[in-house]
Amino acid sequence: MNEIKIWDAFIRIAHWLMVFGFAAAYLSEGDPMWLHSWAGYLIVAVVLLRVFWGFVGPEHARFANFVKSPRAVFAYLGDLARFRSKRFVGHSPAGGAMTIALLVLLVATATFGMMDLALTKGLGPLSPWLQPDAAVTAAVAAGQRVRGPFKDVHELFANLTLAFVILHLCGVALASFAHRENLPRAMVTGRKRP
């Protein structure tokens, strides 16, 4: 069967870097902290590049190509549940909504993590603007573990991201079945049937 190129190399590499970065950060849970932190930095860098690419990249990478109204998203999901949805060569309306949701959740998770790191250890890229107070500094110097003010928010966003990842995987499986195509394979090869 003839196939056409849909996902450029940057989109595919960015997708898998975010997958592996999130998995490393989530599964490490801060131990070792260097792995957790660097996975978060990787995610932020890739998301920022992905946002840039969403405005200047090729057709199927552009937000204008796949960001649809909530009405279109829910109409597509209703049709997909009945196995009568239109097939899209690029992102479906639901796939586009999930892309935006995951980008926002990943940035929120990483940002609150960096805020917590700055306020509890005085480390990270936000440390020039956010510093631990004297009591936190003394507790850390004494070898005590300190739970920062943004730790719970960071964990909340990490868990929300995981929930959305699971929804994403279910949607990919359902769309793959409904449209008789292997969407994960397309995110590896970049190719789909016309």
5-61 pLDDT, tens digit per residue, is 999 999 999 999 999 999 999 999 878 999 999 999 999 999 999 999 999 999 999
**pLDDT by residue (tens digit) across 84-125?**
999 999 999 999 999 999 999 999 999 999 999 998 888 899
Structure tokens at 129: 């603007």
Main-chain phi, psi angles of 179, to 5 degrees: -100, 5
pLDDT band at 1; cut points 50, 70, 90 = low
* Distance in angstroms between the alpha carbons of the first and the last residue of the chain: 9
Domains and CATH numbers, the chain: 4-192 (1.20.950)
Helices 151-179 and 93-121: angle between axes, nearest 10 degrees = 160
Cα–Cα distance measured from residue 127 to residue 118, given in angstroms and rounded to the nearest whole number: 5
